[in-house]
Amino acid sequence: MKNIIRRPVMDTKVKTSSGASMEVRARFDRFKSISIKKLVLLIITLFLVLSGQKLFAQGVGIGEDNFAIDPSAILELKHTSGTFKGFLTPRMAEGDRDGIAAPATGLIIYNTSTNKLNIYDGTAWRVLFSGTNSIEDANNGLTINAGILQLGGNLIQN
């Protein structure tokens, strides 16, 4: 025997004007029946079609209008009108930064304890830039002073 889903048969008690109860049976057979196999096949097909789709994107662009995203970027921000705005990195105190479990290499945060950008290099948090315009961890060998780049030793100008 075939399993068929049908609309339910409803039994309803109705009171007449004289107060007597009367049982009414309503059938909803006018709707077409669907076999269980067809229903299961339909559900499986929909599941496979919807879950099998993969989204391939070149990158994400966030801006005021549609624009072409640079193919080398995974994320591009664009602001073209009105007052220009900057990118705000996540801000946290040094203790909160140190509480991040297994930070990803390259993770950047703004350290509110030192007012500096920090980057995780895979083993430790490093200062990305300091307020003195020197590049950190260069053993005092690389500095920028008044727009002049100096690499180790004394600056010699001609």
Residue 45 clears pLDDT 90, i.e. is over it: no
Mean pLDDT of 134-156: 58
Share of the chain above pLDDT 70, in %: 54
Residue 11 clears pLDDT 60, i.e. is over it: no
Share of the chain above pLDDT 90, in %: 16
Nearest CA among 96, 139, 140, 138 for reference residue 118? 96
Higher pLDDT, 112 or 4: 112
Per-residue pLDDT at 101: 92
